[in-house]
Amino acid sequence: MRLLRNPSLVAGFVMVGGVVALAAMGPLLAPHSPSAIIDAPYMPTGPRTLLGSDNLGRDVLSRFLWGGANLVWMAFGATFIALTLGAAVGISAAYFKGWTDEVLMRVVDLKMAFPSLVFVLLFVTMLGTSLPLLVLLCGLSLMPGAARVLRGAALAVVDKDFVQWARSVELPAHRILFREILPNITSPLLVETGLRLMWSISLLAGLSYLGYGIQPPTSDWGLMIYENRNALRVQPLAVVCPILAIAVFAIGGNLIAEGFARAFRQTR
């Protein structure tokens, strides 16, 4: 209940939840198939196309309602991969210390030297684009940041009595990592969830915009921005609607992170 009194958190959940609901329910509400050609290109709003038509004469509203499904699940997927791997790497480095810490953190540093977009583009250019590959690459590219933060959080826990006790009774390492340490770093983990969610949707939409993400004729918000960017002045809705949805999702993710961070500070 205390969390419900946290305005950032509530606003964040409402925004992210709203976009997720739009992405999940949108296809059921769309008046046309997202690939059906309904009108001439870039027509303004009319009785058949409530938000006008896009670069090929497809209904902007239908493409918008269909366009979030892939992007949103991919953003959650990439966030899940980034956090799972980040947590595994970060906690292991903090717990084992010594050369394990050195090796893992240098690998993380090496990865951090590559900007996320460059990293993903490198592999996509070599291997081609497929949705599972994009999710995996985005997850991997966002992993190092999570690993660094979670290592820092875990370092404050590994020397505590209950961990030392677990070591002394020779509990298996994986049990100490995931049963003893992980539950005690949930607050930074939740903060990271919000942040990684924001980064992953930005990265995925950016890839679609650059033509390396979801491929046409699939409907996708990033792709909608790319396909209609030249006609911003005659048909702004085809660009503005997806931008708004992505912005709301990203800001929502940020607010969730901020809300958890604030709640975390208050409990300390």
Going residue by residue from 212 to 231, which x/- string records binding to another protein, judged by CB under 8 A?
A: ---xxx----------xxxx
How many degrees, rounded to 5, is the angle at CA 222 between CA 11 and CA 255?
A: 15
Instruction: Give 153 or 237: the residue with its C-beta nearer to another protein.
Output: 237
Q: Compute the least distance from the CB of residue 72 to another protein, in Å.
A: 23
Q: Are 63 and 26 in contact (CB under 8 A)?
A: no
Q: Compute the least distance from the CB of residue 36 to another protein, in Å.
A: 7
Q: Is 211 among the residues that bind another protein (CB under 8 A)?
A: yes
CA distance 109 to 63: 40
Total residues at interface with another protein (CB under 8 A): 20
Closest CA to 131 of 223, 230, 26, 256: 223
Q: Which of 5, 233, 265, 268 binds another protein (CB under 8 A)?
A: 233
Q: Are 214 and 135 in contact (CB under 8 A)?
A: no
Instruction: Give 164 or 230: the residue with its C-beta nearer to another protein.
Output: 230
Phi, psi dihedrals of residue 36, rounded to the nearest 5°: -70, 135
Going residue by residue from 77 to 116, which x/- string records binding to another protein, judged by CB under 8 A?
A: ----------------------------------------
Instruction: Give 37 or 171: the residue with its C-beta nearer to another protein.
Output: 37
Q: Which helix (H) or strand (E) covers residue 221, if one does?
A: helix 221-228
Q: Is 45 among the residues that bind another protein (CB under 8 A)?
A: no
Site for another protein in 18-37 (CB under 8 A): 35-37
**Which residues, 6+ apart, have CB-to-CB distance to 21 below 8 Å?**
none
Q: Are 192 and 146 in contact (CB under 8 A)?
A: yes
Instruction: Give 17 or 236: the residue with its C-beta nearer to another protein.
Output: 236
Instruction: Give 199 or 221: the residue with its C-beta nearer to another protein.
Output: 221
Instruction: Locate 10 and state its tokens.
Output: 């509530």
Q: Is 132 among the residues that bind another protein (CB under 8 A)?
A: no
Q: Are 102 and 157 in contact (CB under 8 A)?
A: no
Q: Is 56 among the residues that bind another protein (CB under 8 A)?
A: yes
CA distance 16 to 9: 10
In the complex, which residues of this chain contact another protein (CB under 8 A)?
35-37, 40-42, 55-57, 125, 211, 215-217, 228-231, 233-234
